[in-house]
């Protein structure tokens, strides 16, 4: 698969990985990018006529339906928008995390699939998290929502294989974005992460881990899920 001459829609395109994905996609001879944000004024000026700004709050089903109807030429749907609520399982805003990261992302897939299957070389890319493999109790709700999203992504991958729509899961670790501001970890930049994601999609990799921290955690998980859980516990207890 190549991004040449493709039409892409990216949610949460105003900052972080979403913004970097727009910028990297523009380097790949892309035809059009629908860059979505809850507020249009938050979108940067990408200075490229191929970028079409779209106002979209994915927690609003009516907005999703309206945008899907207006962007029926989309071939690649990248579900990047999400939230993180700090706190443990017993004090975080679990409902908010689940509503946006899980239910709203499923709504996006459900509303766009009827249009995607009519277009050439369609696919879905869900930005999930390495937290799909282990819960980090300081962001317990976020971790739970991403584990649920990874499961839903697997379901979509199996179901949509009959329609010829590949579904990719991207499971990054800690990335140098606003979400991790102040961290002392040696994190990968969103620009490098975005480049890795797009390159891996072109190689048809289904499960993408685009950064060094994520890959390190995944290797631990491959050896032993309990070992990764123990690492999470050590991080939580300081």
Active-site entry in 34, 102, 133, 142: 142
The residue among 138, 29, 33, 23 whose CA lies nearest residue 76 is 33
Instruction: Determine whether 142 is an active site residue.
Output: yes
**Residues 178, 183, 189: CA angle, nearest 5 degrees:** 55
CA distance 171 to 150: 9
* Sheet with 123-127: strands ordered across: 51-55, 32-37, 7-10, 76-79, 123-127, 167-170, 207-208
Give the E-state strand segments of 113-219 in sequence order. Answer: 123-127, 167-170, 207-208
Q: Is the dihedral of CA 107, 69, 58, 51 positive or negative?
A: positive
* Radius of gyration of the chain measured on its C-alpha atoms: 17
Catalytic residue positions, numbered: 142
């Amino acid at each position: 698969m190549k991004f040449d001459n493709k039409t892409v829609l990216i949610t949460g395109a105003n900052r972080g990985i979403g913004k970097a994905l727009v910028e990297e996609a523009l380097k790949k001879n892309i035809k059009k990018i629908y860059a979505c944000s809850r507020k249009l004024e938050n979108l940067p000026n990408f200075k490229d006529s191929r970028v079409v700004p779209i106002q979209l709050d994915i927690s609003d089903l009516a907005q999703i339906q309206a945008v899907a109807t207006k962007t029926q030429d989309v071939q690649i749907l990248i579900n990047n928008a999400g939230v993180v609520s700090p706190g443990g399982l017993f004090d975080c805003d679990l409902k908010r995390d689940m509503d946006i990261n899980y239910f709203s992302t499923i709504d996006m897939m459900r509303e766009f699939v009827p249009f995607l299957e009519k277009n050439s070389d369609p696919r879905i890319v869900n930005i999930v998290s390495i937290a799909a493999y282990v819960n980090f109790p300081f962001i317990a709700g976020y971790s739970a929502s991403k584990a649920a999203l990874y499961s839903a992504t697997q379901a979509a991958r199996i179901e949509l294989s009959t329609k010829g729509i590949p579904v990719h899961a991207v499971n990054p670790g800690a990335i140098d974005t606003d979400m991790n501001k102040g961290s002392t970890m040696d994190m990968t930049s969103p620009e490098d992460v975005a480049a890795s994601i797009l390159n891996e999609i072109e190689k048809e990799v289904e499960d993408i881990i685009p950064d060094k921290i994520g890959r390190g955690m995944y290797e631990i998980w491959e050896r032993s899920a309990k070992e990764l859980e123990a690492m999470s516990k050590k991080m939580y207890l300081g």
